[in-house]
Structure 1
Amino acid sequence: MASQEREEAVTKGTGFWRCPKPATYTPGTCELLRVMMKKSKLTSFQQRHIMDTMRRDLEKEKRRLQNILATGKNPEEQKRKPPPVQQEGPAPEVDRFEELVKEIQERKEFLADMEALGQGRQYRGVILAEISQKLREMEDIDHKRSEELRKALAPA
């Protein structure tokens, strides 16, 4: 009884054979797939779908080979062009001070989440140390900016 239920679960598929890009198969592969389909107990619809896909792929491969023999070139190679290279201007300079503010906020949110889960004690020391390190870096940036501003505003 249990084996019949397992067989029904295996044989009843719901479209998992759909592929975004069909593959090409050699005749040996086709025969191997036929044998595998019989042994895997696919439904007739699934078997028919697979065989139709293989036939279409073989027809496509035949046309490609005919084009190669007729023109001496692979039509797929002719169609493919390298993607245009976009000229990027200089990336906007990221303000480290703003980055640090965001990082501190993320760490505070993480700590709040961990405390809500009851694991705040485990992370509190590490997170607070990271936040204090970020604050020190922010103070250094602020000090440097203040010095630059004083030099710029000082009478020459």
Structure 2
Amino acid sequence: MASQERVDSVTKGTGFRRCRKQAGYTPGTCELLRVMMKESKLTNFQQRHIMDTMKRDLEKEKRRLQNIFATGKDKEERKKVPHVRQEDPAPELDRFDELVKEIQDRKEFLAAMEALGQGRQYRSIILAEISQKLREMEDIDRRRSKELRKALATT
């Protein structure tokens, strides 16, 4: 019997009896909150946090409604969208230079793997990747040369 009294006193002391006074909820809502909190087995700290959050949300809603009644408009509606200044896009990195960096990274990776004794495992993969990047660089070089020849021919 004493343990039942202790359980009742603990559940009564969770602070949800005050929810109507703090946040202005109806008795039904308070009871629903109490039952949901009990079923979810939240700690007292978690329960207080939820109640405080709900109270803040209610206060925010009250201020919003007061604003609407006072001015006839919602405060958020009256806010103008700030003009975002468009800056010039970052200079586009040259794909050729990117490929040079990627090849260098792949070489460094292979050297690190060889230092760890894993070079044989990665060598064929890395060399294939480097070869692919070199072919792409050759394509870029051909295109640039062709464009340069056209530009020189028109002048």
Scaled by the length of structure 1, what TM-score is found? 0.57
Percent same amino acid at aligned positions? 84
- Name stretches of at least 5 consecutive residues in structure 2 with no aligned partner: 1-24
Q: Distance in 2 between matches of 1:138 and 1:78?
A: 54
Matched residue, 2:87: 88
Specify the alignment match of 1:100 in structure 2. Answer: 99
Inter-CA distance 117–71: structure 2 relative to 1 (3 Å threshold): farther
- Please list the CA deviations of residues 72-116 of structure 1 after superposition, one character each: whole Å capped at 9, or x if unmatched: 21112223x324232333642422221111111222344455556
Higher helix proportion (structure 1 or 2): 2
Give ranges in structure 1 of 5+ residues lacking alignment.
Answer: 1-24
Counterpart of 1:89 in 2: which secondary structure? coil
C-alpha deviations, 1:100-134, integer Å up to 9, x for none?
A: 11111222344455556766544432321120122
What is aligned with 2:52? Answer: 52
Higher relative contact order (CA 8 A, sep 6+): 1
How many residue pairs are counted as aligned between the two chains?
130
3-state SS of 2:42 partner? coil
Structure 1, 140-149 or 90-99: larger mean CA deviation? 140-149
Change (3 A) 1:148 1:40: closer
1:67 aligns with 2:67: yes
Do the aligned partners of residues 63 and 149 (structure 1) sit closer, same or farther apart at CA in structure 2, a change above 3 Å counting? closer
CA contact (8 A) 1:30 1:54 kept: no
Work out which of the two has the higher radius of gyration on C-alpha atoms and give 1 or 2: 2
TM-score (norm 2): 0.57
Aligned ranges for residues 7-156 of structure 1 at < 5 Å? 32-79=32-79, 81-89=80-88, 91-112=90-111, 120-139=119-138, 141=140
Partner of 2:3: none
